[in-house]
Amino acid sequence: MALENLQKCLVMVSIFVSFIACAPSGEHKPVGSSAPNTRKGEKVEFEVVRPVLKKNCASCHPSKSAPDWMDEAQALQYVRNGKLLKRVVVEKTMPQVGSPESLAMTDAERGVIKAWVESVQGGGEESGPVVPVDPVPGPLAPVEKCISCHGVFGDGPAPGVPYLAGQSRPYLDKQLTDYKSGARTDRAMGAMNSIASTLTPEEKTFVLDYFSRLKWGTPPSSEQIPDLERKLKRGEELAKEIGCVSCHASKDGGPITPDWPRVIGQKRDYLLGQLKAFRDGQRPGTTMPGVVEKMTDEDLEALAVFIHRLGLGKKP
Ligand code: HEC
Ligand code: HEC
Ligand code: HEC
């Protein structure tokens, strides 16, 4: 650890010395064409960049997604396809925007990565600049079909799009199968039926592995709900009468069996949509259609509000 820090310091110092334009002049200096140039031909070893990757990337890679940045061969693949430079230096979208790692990563550390990439590129006579090729069928390609709506951590904020984080593999699998066969209809956006139908078996395996590993972490809702107290009270009454919580919440708020969904804290509008779909015969289920069969819209709304709010810290 001490050695790594020393290496990092040396690198930072050398970066600041070699790039005069990179003087610490402010946080918002543009990166791209006006970014400082590395001295061509200067060799930067992987051992120099490894501690930077370890500090800033290893908390998520490869556990939340490939690649393994500690593995030089894999890292080199991302030099070649242009993605390392693009995400870390040009766009600055890695580390994940908003993550603690992203706040902690310094421009000097980004500079180290840039210097390494350019050193690898400039290594041979015939190796020209790396041209970012997009889209590249990289290891995460299948998930790219999902994250525009569901978010990289399965907690995409768009209304009507359910959180996937915290759902089990068998549950997610069943839903994709039902969308594909048409047994379940996406009433919110109409997208899931065609998306599920076009996934290859390999892609399906990949996205199931990916999303079922993500942990539930409900973002707090600041949504203003009219008539909140009355809805919560009615929702609680109904939930107790029917026993929603006994099927849907184990101690940690997850389902009591892995084949069933987590609903506590799920988005309110999504919950309401699903309860209506069960009642109106637009979504199949072993249990739910019977549970909500005779309920009015008002009751379903009260239930959706109550179940959603249970996720905001209150004990079931
Ligand atoms: C807080 C978690 C997190 C951290 C920290 C993080 N990443 Fe990522 N990274 C992700 C996730 C999730 C994805 C997949 C979604 C995406 O492409 O935005 C990803 C994707 C990528 C991709 C695109 C891969 C592809 O195949 O398209 C690159 C390149 C990347 N990260 C590089 C890095 C580097 C380099 C670091 C450290 C400097 C880093 N990331 C730190 C979460 C993180
Ligand atoms: C255009 C936005 C969009 C994209 C892209 C998208 N989804 Fe969805 N997804 C939705 C919406 C909206 C719903 C809720 C639909 C409904 O009412 O049944 C949903 C529902 C789901 C559900 C059911 C969740 C539950 O709790 O029952 C799963 C599983 C799912 N999506 C997986 C995926 C996967 C995997 C991908 C990528 C291959 C993907 N989605 C891409 C919007 C999207
Ligand atoms: C006997 C157990 C049981 C009871 C009681 C029960 N559920 Fe369910 N729930 C399930 C199962 C199982 C599913 C998966 C669909 C199916 O097979 O019916 C489900 C699915 C759901 C879904 C869809 C989740 C998603 O991600 O799309 C919602 C919402 C839901 N239940 C809410 C409720 C509410 C609200 C109540 C009380 C009114 C309730 N459930 C009572 C077992 C139960």
| Structural contact between residues 88 and 111, judged by C-beta atoms closer than 8 angstroms | no
User: Nearest bound ligand to CA 61?
Assistant: 1
Q: How far is the CA of 265 from the centre of ligand 2 (A)?
A: 17
> 187-219: per-residue pLDDT in tens?
888 899 999 999 999 999 989 988 887 777 765
With 0-12 CB in 10 A as exposed, 13-18 as middle and 19+ as buried, what is 4?
A: middle
What token pair was written down for 282?
A: 């637009």
Q: Is pLDDT of 277 > 50?
A: yes
Q: Using CA atoms in the order 86, 89, 95, 98, what is the torsion angle rounded to 10 degrees?
A: -110
Q: What pLDDT does 170 receive?
A: 96
C-beta of 294 in contact with ligand 3 (< 6 A): no
List Cβ<8 Å contacts ≥24 apart for 250-257.
Answer: 253/216, 253/310, 253/311, 253/316, 254/166, 254/216, 255/168, 255/171
41 pLDDT band, cuts 50/70/90, is low
The Å distance, Cα 220 to ligand 3 centre, comes to 22
Higher pLDDT, 282 or 213: 282
Arithmetic mean of pLDDT, 307-316: 66
| Residue 314 in this model has a pLDDT that exceeds 50 | no
Instruction: Report d(CA 122, CA 20) in Å as an integer.
Output: 21
How do residues 104-144 score in pLDDT, each as one tens digit? 898 888 988 988 888 887 654 333 333 333 333 455 678 88
User: Is the distance from the beta carbon of residue 166 to the nearest atom of ligand 2 less than 6 Å?
Assistant: no
Query: What pLDDT is stored for residue 100 in this prediction?
Result: 80
Asked if residue 44 has pLDDT above 70, the reply is yes
- pLDDT grade, residue 292 (50/70/90)? very high
Q: Assess whether the C-beta atom of 157 lies below 6 angstroms from ligand 3.
A: no
224 lines ligand 3 (CB under 6 A): no
Q: How many angstroms separate the alpha carbon of residue 154 from the centre of ligand 3? A: 20
Give per-residue pLDDT as tens, 225-250: 899 999 999 999 999 999 999 999 88
Using CA positions, which residue lies closest to atom 23 of ligand 2? 175
Among protein residues, the one with the nearest Cα to ligand 1's atom 13 is 65
187 lines ligand 2 (CB under 6 A): yes
- Choose between 290 and 316: higher pLDDT: 290
Confidence of residue 159 (pLDDT cuts 50, 70, 90): confident
Identify the residue whose C-alpha is closest to ligand 3 atom 15.
Answer: 285
Alpha-carbon gap, residue 4 to 55, rounded angstroms: 10
- Evaluate if residue 151 carries a pLDDT over 70: yes
pLDDT above 90: percentage of residues in the chain: 38
Residue nearest (by alpha carbon) to ligand 3 atom 25: 261
pLDDT band at 153 (very low <50, low <70, confident <90, very high): confident
Q: What was the pLDDT predicted at 147? A: 84
- Using the mean position of ligand 2's atoms as its centre, give its distance from the Cα of residue 316 in Å: 26
Contacts made by residues 185-192, CB under 8 angstroms, sequence distance 24+: 185/277, 185/282, 185/283, 187/273, 187/277, 187/282, 188/160, 188/161, 188/270, 188/273, 189/149, 189/160, 189/161, 191/149
Report the atom number in ligand 1 closest to the C-alpha of 139.
Answer: 26
The rounded Å distance from CA 56 to ligand 1 centre is 10
* Window from 97-101, 154-158, 276-280, 309-313 with minimum mean pLDDT: 309-313
CA-274 nearest atom, ligand 2: 17
- The CB of 199 under 6 Å from ligand 2? The reply is yes
Shortest-distance Cα residue to atom 32 of ligand 1 = 94
pLDDT band at 290 (very low <50, low <70, confident <90, very high): very high
Pair 95, 56: CB distance under 8 Å: yes
Taking CB atoms within 8 Å and a gap of at least 24, the contacts of 101-104 are: 101/56, 101/57, 101/59, 101/60, 104/55, 104/56
Q: What is the pLDDT of residue 37?
A: 36
What pLDDT was estimated at residue 64? 57
Task: Label residue 316 by pLDDT band (50, 70, 90).
Answer: very low
Ranked by mean pLDDT, the top range of 45-49, 76-80, 96-100, 271-275 is: 271-275
Q: How high does pLDDT run on average in the chain? A: 78
Residue 226's pLDDT is 92
261 lines ligand 2 (CB under 6 A): yes
